[in-house]
Structure 1
């Protein structure tokens, strides 16, 4: 569990120190007060990744040169520091050489937010990021493969934009794409097969119906990267970009046999998004043997009471949960004694003891 969180110059917080129980905590306050930033800081501390920013620089408080995030996590002191473009990672005071070394000793995260509905009606990029976040937590080699694939893809696409691209260089980058692309595709395919039945079960519970949710992996290199690149070589020259590979992957989501983006109602789409994230949590626990921390960012206002109650019942009782909300009207039953924190203008005050 996460026992404490300490922030220095992170987003709107100049300094912040919080203590948590094994249940977690609920952060209440108006919009734009810093609630989401607290959940974001937990995600960065545990997984070195923000759900709202691609790099660390936007996380630094205005006019500051760096930031610090630390906490007592799973009885170890984790710390992430970032200053002038460079990050350093520490566990129990020892600086670690690589991100993978840090991540192998940290925990697992499930992030749930209002923006998750874009998993159904948004572009394929959002669904690929959903897969990447799961895969990188289950397979330490995945992050390295994805990073090298992206660098090679960018370089190869720049070459293809030349009027007379050099075949030797194109082929050299193609070999890198083949090596890492096939690895990425294999991990994604395995993860989708793992989450599909879990998501279907969650869909039925949250919707309180017999809705059937299908989650299928749509590969951008069906049959393998080498064959896919060979098949698209002529088209690549015309369109001046790499047309096959994991950057073209997608998830096919269907509800009762129909494409969810086209035929699911607003309520069904939000339920599907919840089901995908709940399946992520179950998959992480089943494969990694550790219960993830759940970060729920202001999702209750968009759910009707039936789905809201079903979600609360479905969340693992043993998992630590951190929740942001603008109101606690939905809190009933076992949720009432939860630790409550009021967030206002970059300050946090404990409001309710257990």
Structure 2
């Protein structure tokens, strides 16, 4: 999948240069040494997305660097991302005009980390981001529609707060929200349909129990945004904020018919978070016909042997895996991680183990 990864002035790395075999790599080291940043660099290179921040300037190395650069051979293409006040993108030395063109022939990513528990326990925003990250990888135009919707929503909310709301301008932004938002809600519904049977199977496999997991997409205002906005118009004008649209959607998670956030045990919740990410990988592969790269951040060392073995068994053997961990006491090559490179990360330097 990715044969090489290079980075300059990215996070804690002044420079980084790695060669990775097809099976992937395991990165060990204490916390706050740069392990997660390596996985983050892969995510930015492949998807122009960081799971840790939405702000590109935050990825620049602290200490006076004006920007950062990431490059690597991925899917037999030399890809390059540079940020210095703006994004510069290139594939095989040819500039790409914007994120859409860059991502059109890019690869697929699944990020797995301990923070995934927030998908179950946390607010709806995290579950929307989960759906959006999948949608941007498999639904043509999803990323563009989401950006346009957000811009129109921001403009509408600013106008609603005006002491004298300009109704004609508000309605013009609502038309954009209806057009782009309708694309988003129908895409999200298709994504949840793809995920549901895969997540349910993963929940049973990882837990080792006959737990019934259900996913329900709850579109704020339903699937007809125009009708929903008309119905909410008086309330929105009165309270000066937007109440319907994809920005308020949620993904409801239930185990054995009960809301997982309220009634599931901690073990069930952790298993559910893993099941959602395993289902994501399978859904991506089914939709695009190719395997994603799995970026697994400090997960396996925290799992009991039963769940760890179940997750390792569920991961596609042919998929490349980048794994970070603070220790290797849990690692057994018989678990299917043979052939992976081993690196030690200390103070922003990655060296072969």
TM-score by length of 2: 0.98
Taking the TM superposition and a 5 Å limit, the aligned residue runs for 1:1-354 are 1-62=1-62, 63-83=64-84, 85-332=85-332, 333=334, 334-335=336-337, 338-351=340-353
Shift of 1:337: 5.1
Indicate conservation of the 8 Å contact 2:23/2:339, yes or no. no
Shift of 1:99: 1.0
Q: CA 1:10/1:223 → structure 2, altered by over 3 Å: closer, same or farther? A: closer
Which stretch shows the higher mean deviation, 114-123 or 156-165?
A: 156-165
Indicate conservation of the 8 Å contact 1:100/1:140, yes or no. no
1:199-237 C-alpha deviation (Å, 9 max, x unpaired): 000001000111110011000121411000011111101
Shift of 1:163: 1.8
Shift of 1:166: 1.1
Indicate conservation of the 8 Å contact 2:120/2:260, yes or no. yes
1:246-282 C-alpha deviation (Å, 9 max, x unpaired): 0110001000110000011111111100000110000
CA–CA distance in structure 1, aligned partners of residues 255 and 34 of structure 2? 36
Indicate conservation of the 8 Å contact 2:185/2:223, yes or no. no
Indicate conservation of the 8 Å contact 1:28/1:342, yes or no. yes
CA–CA distance in structure 2, aligned partners of residues 336 and 3 of structure 1? 17
Aligned length: 350
CA–CA distance in structure 1, aligned partners of residues 117 and 176 of structure 2? 34
CA–CA distance in structure 1, aligned partners of residues 279 and 338 of structure 2? 26
1:137-190 C-alpha deviation (Å, 9 max, x unpaired): 001300110000000000100111112201101111111111011010000000
CA–CA distance in structure 2, aligned partners of residues 239 and 276 of structure 1? 36
CA–CA distance in structure 2, aligned partners of residues 265 and 20 of structure 1? 38
CA–CA distance in structure 1, aligned partners of residues 223 and 12 of structure 2? 48
CA–CA distance in structure 2, aligned partners of residues 92 and 223 of structure 1? 41
Q: CA 1:190/1:36 → structure 2, altered by over 3 Å: closer, same or farther? A: same
3-state SS of 1:335 partner: coil
3-state SS of 2:55 partner: coil
Indicate conservation of the 8 Å contact 2:213/2:256, yes or no. yes
CA–CA distance in structure 1, aligned partners of residues 317 and 267 of structure 2? 25
3-state SS of 2:141 partner: helix
1:277-312 C-alpha deviation (Å, 9 max, x unpaired): 110000000010110000000012332111111101
CA–CA distance in structure 1, aligned partners of residues 338 and 329 of structure 2? 10
Shift of 1:335: 2.7
Runs of 4+ in 1 over 4 A off after TM superposition: none
3-state SS of 1:317 partner: coil
3-state SS of 1:52 partner: coil
CA–CA distance in structure 2, aligned partners of residues 75 and 218 of structure 1? 40
CA–CA distance in structure 2, aligned partners of residues 92 and 140 of structure 1? 23
Which stretch shows the higher mean deviation, 17-26 or 100-109?
A: 100-109
CA–CA distance in structure 2, aligned partners of residues 337 and 279 of structure 1? 25
3-state SS of 1:107 partner: coil
